[in-house]
């Protein structure tokens, strides 16, 4: 049995555990620190991964890290000594020299900070950043014929875009493009110019774009992005110097281009500028993906990297008619790197080992009935136990109540998929505004996703295919747009999770019960948090969030909390 621990330190720090090629645990450190996009050491995540499988560090065969260079923090985390030590980077050596000269305290963890001494035979494997992204997509895909793999993000290990061939269990590099071709940086610069967090607010940019008209401002961003043609970078862009800012444990970035782009935002309608940014991203990505599909003589596409969190881009690729099998790793950003590094380390040594296509992302912590009830009792709350919570919640939702739904293992990645969700009926248009104002405390234009029964997907989605993870948007069938208006965006699209009974029986039962009452087998589903906070992990966080907004009911396993009307 091969046990591999993946660990990512940086933006969205995370840890994952892969056993014989199967992902058994994966979680971002933000869920423990409660700091969104936490970039410090993922000590809580490592601890969870081990405990979830009743393992100790001595049971781990390989530690996989998604980075080319040495990471000195591993020396502390895993108690590495001698020849196994990670080398100090040049910036760290310079910082330590400066501290010595200026007689400032050096950085060293206190005794009470937990570490995880690795056994002497455990191997430390470094996996290139974008190769880890590629592995997360390729090795979680059901189709094992020839695949084109495309990875795109801001930058990692000096690479912004990677093009790869996946075939016979192996990943072969075809093209790497550096910072001069970063479409991710371009889109994030627009996001920063709009006043949003680079590395977090790109979803807002995407959400605002359908309200604009790119034709009114076409070309205003031409000098701020690289140009591609025929799968090649034909016009590199000089992004200048990049900067970062540590905000309470989470890294934020700044690039010089955001300043003149802000002037453009102030000159034109924000909606139109975002529409133009979205158009550019889609157009330039097509110039990368489609020529390489032709060169590789395949219609199978795998994708990963933060750019592919853009569900509208994913929809445009799928609807092109050039793709038969389209798989996007559903946690494509940097928090998915721990999984990717671990998977690559597994299959690099055994490419003929069977792969395991993912069916769900329920790889996070779970809490039993006793732990949930003890948490409620300690807070002296007036709760009750309900045997058929699916029927209870369905009736509440049919009455336009807002229900927080906390069940089983927490989802990995940025999307709530029915285990840490806030739910409401999508049957009234005003419910979208109610959720944004009363629950999420966020901008009114931002859309919400639906969860719907897998069996009913063709009733709601055009150009339908399986979509279990809310990673691709689809045009809503015209016959259903007026029936579920709270989840239909301004461009008539929705970003669905299709729910199979065998993947999440309790959530399927809830949606099915709601369908029996209302005639619509679909619910508005948003993550169980408020804006700016990570998704809740522990029952105590669920209770705190419940009393900090306008939720009506909280269902924790079989226990129910309700607020007075």
Same-domain pairing of 258 and 390? no
CA distance 425 to 127: 44
pLDDT of residue 459: 98
Same-domain pairing of 7 and 116? yes
Domains contained in the chain, number: 3
Give residue 180's domain range: 141-328
Tokens for 154, please give them: 């801001």
Question: What count of other Cβ atoms lies within 10 Å of the Cβ of residue 401?
Answer: 18
Alpha-helical runs (H) found in 350-420: 369-378, 389-398
CATH code, domain with 493: 3.90.870.20
Pairing between β-strand 493-494 and β-strand 474-475 as defined by DSSP bridges: antiparallel
Same-domain pairing of 286 and 187? yes
Pick the closest to residue 109 from 71, 72, 74, 76 (CA basis).
Answer: 76
pLDDT of residue 141: 94
Q: Is residue 352 part of a domain?
A: no
pLDDT of residue 469: 98
Tokens for 186, please give them: 């371009």
pLDDT of residue 103: 63
Pick the closest to residue 71 from 405, 337, 254, 402 (CA basis).
Answer: 337
CA distances from 515 to 372, 394, 464 (A): 29, 8, 20
pLDDT of residue 88: 77
CA distance 145 to 159: 26
Alpha-helical runs (H) found in 223-357: 258-267, 270-295, 311-318, 337-349
Same-domain pairing of 249 and 309? yes
The DSSP call for residue 37 is: T
Domain limit, last residue, from 328, 356, 388: 328
Taking CB atoms within 8 Å and a gap of at least 24, the contacts of 154-157 are: 154/182, 154/184, 154/185, 154/188, 154/199, 154/253, 154/306, 155/179, 155/182, 155/184, 155/185, 155/242, 156/66, 156/129, 156/130, 156/334, 157/67, 157/68, 157/69, 157/128, 157/129, 157/130
Same-domain pairing of 233 and 122? no
Q: Is residue 56 part of a domain?
A: yes
Instruction: Give the dihedral sign, CA 346/318/499/562.
Output: positive
| Residue 420 φ/ψ, nearest 5 degrees | -135, 70
Q: Is residue 351 part of a domain?
A: no
End-to-end CA distance of the chain: 55
Tokens for 536, please give them: 């809740």
pLDDT of residue 91: 67
Q: Which residue has the tokens 């003929």?
A: 352
Same-domain pairing of 394 and 516? yes
pLDDT of residue 325: 95
| Residue 192 φ/ψ, nearest 5 degrees | -65, -40
pLDDT of residue 265: 98
pLDDT of residue 160: 98
Q: Which residue has the tokens 């108690």?
A: 79
Same-domain pairing of 37 and 84? yes
Q: Which residue has the tokens 């801001």?
A: 154
CATH code, domain with 279: 3.30.420.40
Do the beta carbons of residue 403 and residue 551 sit within 8 Å? yes
pLDDT of residue 350: 87
Same-domain pairing of 154 and 293? yes
Do the beta carbons of residue 486 and residue 425 sit within 8 Å? yes
Same-domain pairing of 301 and 188? yes
CA distances from 184 to 224, 296, 310, 313, 396 (A): 12, 24, 10, 12, 42
Q: Is residue 80 part of a domain?
A: yes
Give the residues of the chain that fall short of pLDDT 50.
none
Pick the closest to residue 330 from 259, 417, 455 (CA basis).
Answer: 417
Same-domain pairing of 505 and 441? yes
Which residues is 537 bridged to in the sheet?
A: none
Q: Is residue 537 part of a domain?
A: yes
Is residue 334 packed enough to be buried (19+ CB in 10 Å), middle (13-18) or exposed (0-12)? buried
pLDDT tens digit string along 217-246? 999 999 999 999 999 999 999 999 999 899
Do the beta carbons of residue 18 and residue 6 sit within 8 Å? yes
Same-domain pairing of 469 and 522? yes
Q: Is residue 337 part of a domain?
A: no
Pick the closest to residue 423 from 254, 555, 246 (CA basis).
Answer: 555
pLDDT of residue 454: 98
Domain limit, last residue, from 265, 296, 328: 328
- Ramachandran region of residue 169, left (φ > 0), alpha (ψ -120 to 50) or beta? left
Same-domain pairing of 115 and 153? no
Q: Is residue 364 part of a domain?
A: no
pTM of the model: 0.96
Q: Is residue 115 part of a domain?
A: yes
pLDDT of residue 294: 98
pLDDT of residue 142: 84
Domain limit, last residue, from 94, 109, 130: 130
- Ramachandran region of residue 104, left (φ > 0), alpha (ψ -120 to 50) or beta? beta
**What residues contact 77, with CB distance under 8 A and at least 6 apart?**
7, 41, 43, 46, 115, 116
Report, in angstroms and rounded to the nearest whole number, the Rg of the chain calculated over CA atoms.
23
Question: What count of other Cβ atoms lies within 10 Å of the Cβ of residue 183?
Answer: 24
């Amino acid at each position: 049995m091969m046990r591999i621990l993946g660990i990512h330190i940086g933006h969205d720090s995370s840890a994952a555990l892969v056993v014989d090629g199967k992902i058994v645990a994966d979680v971002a450190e933000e869920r423990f620190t409660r700091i969104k996009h936490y970039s410090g050491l993922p000590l809580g995540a490592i601890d969870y991964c081990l405990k979830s499988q009743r393992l100790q560090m001595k049971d781990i065969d390989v530690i996989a890290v998604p980075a080319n260079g040495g990471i000195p923090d591993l020396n502390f985390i895993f108690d590495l000594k001698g020849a196994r030590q990670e080398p100090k980077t040049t910036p760290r050596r310079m910082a330590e020299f400066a501290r010595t000269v200026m007689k400032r305290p050096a950085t060293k963890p206190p005794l009470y900070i937990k570490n995880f001494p690795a056994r002497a035979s455990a191997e430390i494997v470094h996996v290139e950043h974008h190769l880890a992204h590629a592995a997360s997509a390729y090795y979680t895909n059901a189709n094992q014929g020839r695949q084109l793999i495309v990875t795109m993000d801001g930058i990692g290990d000096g690479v912004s875009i990677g093009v790869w061939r996946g075939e016979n269990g192996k990943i072969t590099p075809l093209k790497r493009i550096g910072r001069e071709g970063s479409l991710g940086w371009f889109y994030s610069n627009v996001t920063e110019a709009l006043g949003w967090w680079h590395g977090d607010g790109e979803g807002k940019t995407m959400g605002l774009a359908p309200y604009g008209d790119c034709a009114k401002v076409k070309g205003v961003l031409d000098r701020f992005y690289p140009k591609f043609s025929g799968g090649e970078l034909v016009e590199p862009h000089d992004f200048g110097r990049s900067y970062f800012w540590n905000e309470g444990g989470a890294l934020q970035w700044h690039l010089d281009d955001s300043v003149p782009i802000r002037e453009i935002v102030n000159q034109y309608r924000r909606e139109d500028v975002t529409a133009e940014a979205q158009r550019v991203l889609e157009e330039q990505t097509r110039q990368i993906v489609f020529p390489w599909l032709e060169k590789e003589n395949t219609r199978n596409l795998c994708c990963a990297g933060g750019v592919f969190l853009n569900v509208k881009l994913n929809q445009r690729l799928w609807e092109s008619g050039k793709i038969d099998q389209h798989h996007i790793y559903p946690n494509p950003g940097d928090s998915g790197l721990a999984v990717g590094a671990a998977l690559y380390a597994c299959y690099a040594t055994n490419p003929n080992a069977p792969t395991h296509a993912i069916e769900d992302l329920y790889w996070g912590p779970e809490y039993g009935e006793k732990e949930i009830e003890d948490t409620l009792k300690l807070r002296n709350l007036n709760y009750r136990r309900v045997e058929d919570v699916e029927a209870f919640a369905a009736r509440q939702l049919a009455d336009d109540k807002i229900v927080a739904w906390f069940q089983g293992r927490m989802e990995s990645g940025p999307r709530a998929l029915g285990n840490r969700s806030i739910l409401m009926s999508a049957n009234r248009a005003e419910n979208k505004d109610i959720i944004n104002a009363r629950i999420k405390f966020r901008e009114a234009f931002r859309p919400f996703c639906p969860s719907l029964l897998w069996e009913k997907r063709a009733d709601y989605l055009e150009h339908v295919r399986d979509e279990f993870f809310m990673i691709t948007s689809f045009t809503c069938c015209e016959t259903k747009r007026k029936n579920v208006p709270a989840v239909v965006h301004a461009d008539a699209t929705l970003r669905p999770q299709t729910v199979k009974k065998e993947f999440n029986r309790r959530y399927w039962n809830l949606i099915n019960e709601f369908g029996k009452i209302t005639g619509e087998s679909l619910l508005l589903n948003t993550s169980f948090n408020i804006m700016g906070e990570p998704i809740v992990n522990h029952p105590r966080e669920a209770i705190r969030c419940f009393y900090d907004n306008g939720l009506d009911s909280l269902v924790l396993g079989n226990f129910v909390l309700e607020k007075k009307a």
